[in-house]
Structures are given as structure tokens and as C-alpha cells.
Amino acid sequence: MKNMFLIGTSALLLSACVGSSTKKSIEKLPLEQTSVFASTDKNLENAYNWAKKMALSYVHDGSDPVGYWYEAALPQREAFCMRDVSHQSVGAQILGLAEHNKNMFGKFAKNISESKDWCTYWEINRYDKPAPADYANDKEFWYNLNANFDVIQACWKMYEWTGDKDYLTDSCFVNFYDKSLNEYVKHWRLEPENIMDRPRYMHQPDNFDLNNNFHTCRGLASYVENFRGLTLGVDLLASMYAGYKAHAQMAAICGDSVTARNDLKKADAYQNIIEDKWWDEEHQYYQTFWTEDKTFHRGEGVPVLLWFNAIKDDFRLKASINDILSKEWNVENLSHFPEMLYRFGYDEEAYKYLVTLPLVNRCEYPEVSYGVIEGCIGGLMGINPSSSNNTITTCSHLTDNGVEVEVKNVPVFNGYITVKHIGNKITVFENNTGRDIVWNASFIGNCQSINAGGKVYKTTVKKLNDNHVSSACINLKNGESLTAGV
């Protein structure tokens, strides 16, 4: 009922908040002046500056046939794949690459087709062609089934950061969402009642060859590509939960309460499968692979449950984070540990990953630098915009009150914000987004009130790991700056 109330009111909140705000055109800044980060902690500052330089080295200015793009695949491939763009897009937005994100997501959306069994191109190169390393023809190509749902969630995030309604209403995007959540799901037998009974290989060509990766990997039911006999990964279930939930939020904003309600039911169905069937009570962890012989196995996948916010039980969430922290991971997983761990209140562990990621093996993989950017701004600084609610949240996750961090000119909505944290007790916020907004000023700890601009604001308090987060909503006009503290 709580979810349905939120969905039922979100469209009203959007029209009320945006309709009453003052919108102004803001001049776009060059990339070198965008999201400029500084800290008295030089380990943090150095990690961020390394990441920004590395990430921008992968950016292309629109002169290629594919248009604006950045590398989001194996280095030197000159291409971008669905998974990596979905996971790099928030970092890219922070760096001022909104045009690049929209173009690349649009390319994926445009190329969904029945001839490819409602897949699109897994990887597109700078020549605006499917990358030959992953595609031969519409019947022979590499494809991970998670990708469509990952893109849907990422497009929702892009709307929340930018307020660009094309992500909600453009016919190309709408068609991709509709086909992915309907025809694609049915065609690949991904419905909740069928997903654990589906065959390993589907929609095979007449000349099906077990030694041909474009045959055996055309419709992988996981991002894990090397586990023999796999018919379903827990990461696919998590991505479907997130995809349906994101689309429910889109539908609610567009006034389609029926679709929103149905999508939420479907999201809950996939989450219930994870909780009811994949949790191993004896060992206190989630299984990650389901195979053609109807048995569970363990391997990669648990971090993806956190990435998609697919765990609803606090005890199981903690057990999963402890499970993750006890193992070694590849850079594709490690890239997002800072943001995820900060999000769930593991601030000391998140910091360690944040400052050491520039030193790991394969740190040149594009996902690493974009992950560090998101880890610093979205994780450490807790900056989280929501265009649907016309709010911007901030929350310092600094563990040393003697440290200061500041980021200038973060692209949000139609303009920019600047945020400075002095330890975790004082935050300075400057709103140049082009609209009046609600600043959701948040601080770690159980605080009864927040002081800002000579006023005292009562807080709402939520549990976060073994601590609390206290928040207050503060109206802030475009062009105004305000200091809040506890």
C-alpha cells in the first residue's frame, strides 16, 4: 500500500513542484569546469582527479558517425555496450555528458527488433554499427538478457538527474520499454511462473553449433558468461525487479496508474523469487546460479543484488555485504563498491575502495573511472537528485570531521549545483539548477532538528546500517545558497 500511495501521488507532486518553480536557461559549462572536486583529504582529491582525467579521455565529441559517445567496453574496442553504459551513465552525467548518455541509450532503444527476438545491439561502435566482436547477423550474436532491464533503470536515473522528459515520452524510448517488458519477457520465457523452468538455449538457428559463441551466448540468462549449464542467474532476477520498478515510476509520472500498479506487482514477484527461493537459510547467503539440472550453485552475482536494490530484508542485506567484503572481485564489480557501500552505510569500507581503485589491476577499464566519480559524488557526498519530486538530497559520509570536501558545478536538471561538506555536521548548498527546488538536507546521526538560514527544521529519521540519517526539506530558490548544520 505504501508503494501504491507514493506512485499515486508522484505525478501530482511533479506537476505541483515543477509548475510552481522558476525555470531559467543556464549556459552550459565546458567539461573542465564541470564537477570540479577538492578536498583537504588529498587521497580523495587525487583519486577523483585521476578518475576525471581518465574518464574524459574516453569521451568523443560527436564527430564520429555514431554521434556523441564515450567508451564503455573493453579498451581499444572503440565501442559501448549496454551493460557498461548503464553502469557508467551516472558518472558520465556528473561529468557533463548528458548528451552522450541520451544518444547512446537512444541507439540501443532504436535497434530493438523482432528479427533479433526483441534484443537490440549488445555493443555499438563509433561507426554506428553493431560491434563485429559481438555480432554477425540478426540470428548470430552475443547477448546478455539482463541488458534491457538495466537500460530501463538507467534511463529512469537519467530522468531523475536531468528532468529530460524524452526519457519518459519519446516514442523510441517508449517502444523499447514496452517491447522489453512484454514481448521480450514472453519470448525468452522470463515470466515469474516460467523463469526457473526455461531451457538453457532458446531461439536457435537451424545450424546451431555448440562451439559457436554467437549461438550459445545469444540470450545468456546472466551477466556471468562462463558458468557451465547456467539457465538463470540471480542477477537477471534482480535486473528484472529494478527494470519493472523503474518503469512503474515512469508510468506514474505520465499518469498511467494501471501500468504503474501492474509493473510494481511484477517487480515484487521477481523480488519474492529471490527471497523465497534463492536465499540459503542454512548458510546465510544467496545462491547465484540455477542450472539445467535444477540445482543451485555459488559464484558471482551478490553485488548485483545491491546494485539493483533487490534485497528487502535488513539481516540478509548485512549478511550479503559481509559476504561481498570477504571475497576478491574483478574490476567490473569493484567499480561500484564505493557508491553501493556508502548507500548502505558502510562508510569506512567504501572509503578504502574509493581511494584504492585507481591502483587496482585493469584500472584503465572505463567502468573504473566512472565508478570512482559516482562513488565520490553520489556516494561520499550523498548527492541524489530527483526530478520527479523536485528534490536534491545531500548527505556527507565523511568519517573524519576535520575533513572538508567540495564539488563545484555538478550538472543537475537545467543547470548546476555546488555542494560543500565540512565534516559530517555542516553542508553548504548552492542552487543554480534553473529552478526552485527542495533541498533534502541530510546528516548521519539521530538528530531532532537541522539549522539552516536562521531557521530550525524538524527532521525525519531513518535507520541506516548501525546508524541513522536525519533529514529536513528546505525550500531553496534558484540562485540561492544556504548553509545547514546539526
Q: What distance in Å separates the CA atoms of residue 107 and residue 191, rounded to the nearest whole number?
A: 26
**Model confidence band, residue 23 (pLDDT cutoffs 50, 70, 90):** low
Residue 47: inside a domain? no
Q: Which residues contact 289 (CB under 8 A, 6 or more apart)?
A: 222, 224, 227, 230, 232, 233, 234, 296, 297, 298, 299, 301
User: Could you report the per-residue pLDDT of 456-486, keeping only the tens digit for each?
Assistant: 999 999 999 999 999 999 999 999 999 999 9
pTM of the model: 0.94
- Is residue 87 one of the residues assigned to a domain? yes
Q: What is the pLDDT of residues 131-163, one digit of tens each?
A: 999 999 999 999 999 999 999 999 999 999 999
392 and 257 both lie in a single domain = no
Torsion, Cα 382 386 390 396, to 10 degrees, reads: 0
Q: Is the pLDDT of residue 85 over 50?
A: yes
- pLDDT tens-digit profile of 384-438? 999 999 999 999 999 999 999 999 999 999 999 999 999 999 999 999 999 999 9
**Across all residues in the chain, what is the average pLDDT?**
94
Domain that holds residue 21: 1-33+382-486
Judging by DSSP bridges, how do beta strands 230-233 and 289-291 pair with one another? antiparallel
Q: Are residues 26 and 72 in the same domain?
A: no
Residue with cell 574483478: 330
User: Would you place residue 24 in the very low, low, confident or very high pLDDT band (cuts 50, 70, 90)?
Assistant: low
Q: Check whether residue 146 and residue 223 sit in a common domain.
A: yes
Instruction: Mark which of 307, 327, 347 sits at the end of a domain.
Output: 327
pLDDT for 62 equals 87
CATH number at residue 274: 1.50.10.10
Q: What is the mean pLDDT of residues 444-448?
A: 96
- Stated as kind and residue range, the H or E segment containing 323 is helix 314-325
